[in-house]
Amino acid sequence: MSAGDGASTTAWARGLGLAAPVVCAPMGGVAGGALAAAVSLAGGLGTIGMGSAGSVPALERELAARETALAHAGTDPAASPFGIGLVAWGIARDPALLERALAAGPTLVSVSFGEWGAPDPGAAWIPAVHGIGALAVTQAATVAEARAAADAGVDAVVARGREGGGHGDHREPRDALLAEVRAAVGIPVLAAGAVAGAADLARVLDAGAAAAWVGTAFAACTEALTPAAAREVLFASRGEETLVSRVYDVALGRPWPARFPERLIRTPFVDRWHGREDALAADEAARAEFRAAAAAGDYRVVPVDAGTGVDALTEERSAAEVLAALTGR
């Protein structure tokens, strides 16, 4: 179904009460409560993301921010759909984070970046999500992952193309992966990776996606948590300037599994250490330099996550304006 017809939607989106088949990806440090509220108010599905720094206090703060934003808009929080995104190894480390997420009553819960297989103790989150009447969703980078997730009982799977920003297993192009996953599973499939404008949304919907899982396009919204200096980097960058690397994680000692590097906008620090992550891990002076830059918000050193669709970001816009541009409305 084309996104340019002014009434684009899908059965999956209608089932969630959405006017547009767009889910704001749960980007840690970007997709907070204010952005979640704004996206949902505009007709998409807003989410709160809890990444490697996710914690119960952080989630509490963003849930409160969502309620405040909805109250200012005169909307009952209980009547506005939203999602919460978690990382599998994060909730394994802190099960209370999943418990608090479920207690918030989200419409959708995504848990990604785990290991699918037998036995898979991480799949226990799926019946827990179903227990509150929410949809269980996960991201997949391969057909094998998508099949395993479907077999475990998820309600929808996100086919995450290699073009996507942030952490992931960057393997196949979005469109090829979407086609392969749709052919392999009998559940709704969402498309992720460089869905940056109306033509991109139309393309994935015409290819049978139940919705688009959109990150970078929302990263510089007025309601996002993204710092002002990082927004300026996004506006000035192009997709060819992105790189898939583990440098950021190694420099800060973040516990992301090695198979999930992140697509980010390269900096001289990243270029110096990319492919030399073991040496970086052993170089305390270099890591101290990076920590200081991160604390100071110096994005000449610290990279900003972005997908290859970052070219479309040229100015700060509201979530409603971004969603209108995506849907051609």
Provide the mean pLDDT of the chain. 94
Q: Which residues contact 213 (CB under 8 A, 6 or more apart)?
A: 23, 25, 139, 158, 160, 190, 191, 192, 195
Percent of the chain having pLDDT more than 70? 96
Structure confidence by residue, pLDDT tens digits, 175-224:
999 999 999 999 999 999 999 999 999 999 999 999 999 999 999 999 99
Q: Where in the chain is the domain with CATH 3.20.20.70?
A: 3-225+312-327
**Is pLDDT at 328 greater than 90 in this prediction?**
no
Burial status of residue 240 (CB atoms within 10 A of its CB: 0-12, 13-18, 19 or more)? exposed
Q: Which CATH superfamily is domain 3-225+312-327 in?
A: Aldolase class I (3.20.20.70)
Structure confidence by residue, pLDDT tens digits, 241-274:
999 999 999 999 999 999 999 999 999 999 999 9
The pLDDT, as a whole number, for residue 117 is 59
| pLDDT band with cut points at 50, 70 and 90 for residue 276 | very high
Separation CA 33–CA 31 (nearest Å):
7
**Is pLDDT at 5 greater than 50 in this prediction?**
no
| pLDDT band with cut points at 50, 70 and 90 for residue 305 | very high
Structure confidence by residue, pLDDT tens digits, 41-86:
999 999 999 988 899 999 999 999 999 999 999 999 989 999 999 9
What is the distance, to the nearest Å, from the Cα of residue 310 to the centroid of all Cα atoms in its chain?
14
Whether 277 and 261 have beta carbons less than 8 Å apart is answered as no
Q: Count how many Cα atoms sit within 13 Å of the Cα of residue 301 in the half-sphere of its side chain.
A: 15
Separation CA 214–CA 193 (nearest Å):
7
Tell me the two tokens of residue 234: 């996004």
Q: Residue 242 is inside which H or E element, if any?
A: strand 242-245
The pLDDT, as a whole number, for residue 208 is 97
Mean pLDDT of 306-318: 96
Lowest-confidence pick of 4-18, 149-163, 210-224? 4-18
Whether 191 and 204 have beta carbons less than 8 Å apart is answered as yes
